[in-house]
Amino acid sequence: MIDNVCFDCARKHLGRANSFIYEWLSDSYPEALWFAIGEISLAEDHLVLSYPEMANKIIQQRLKFMTEDNFYPDLTGLILEISELLKKEEKRLKRKLKRKK
């Protein structure tokens, strides 16, 4: 488990996973499946300590991808959800800072 929270890192890992999935689907790189799964797992790690609900959404997608034929994780959707979560957190922190002044 990674002990730092990083929205950008989580999104980056999901983006890399998406690339690996396309490589795997091309049938040229069967090992790319495991690279994709590893990248999805790293995305979870960057959120699990402070945002366990978001991490759990990623975990559920990964587990379905690993166990169900013809299921592909909605990595774009997850990236967009993380982006929305980041916006909410930025607003919350700005409000908190204003109250301290």
Q: What is the pLDDT of residues 58-97, one digit of tens each?
A: 999 999 999 999 999 999 999 999 999 999 988 988 887 7
CA distances from 43 to 82, 93, 96 (A): 10, 23, 27
Q: Which has more confidence, 28 or 1?
A: 28
Residue 74's pLDDT is 97
Could you tell me if residue 61 is inside a domain?
Answer: yes
Q: Output the pTM of the full model.
A: 0.89
Instruction: Say if 13 falls within a structural domain.
Output: yes
Which tokens sit at 62?
Answer: 């990964």
How far is it, in rounded angstroms, from Cα 60 to Cα 101? 41
Q: Answer yes or no: is 89 within a domain.
A: yes
101: pLDDT confidence band, cut at 50, 70 and 90?
A: low
- Its domain, for residue 21, covers 7-100
- Total structural domains within the chain: 1
Q: Taking the mean position of all CA atoms in its chain, how far away is CA 18?
A: 11
CB-based burial, 31-50: b 16+ in 10 Å, e otherwise:
ebbebbbebbebbbbbbbee
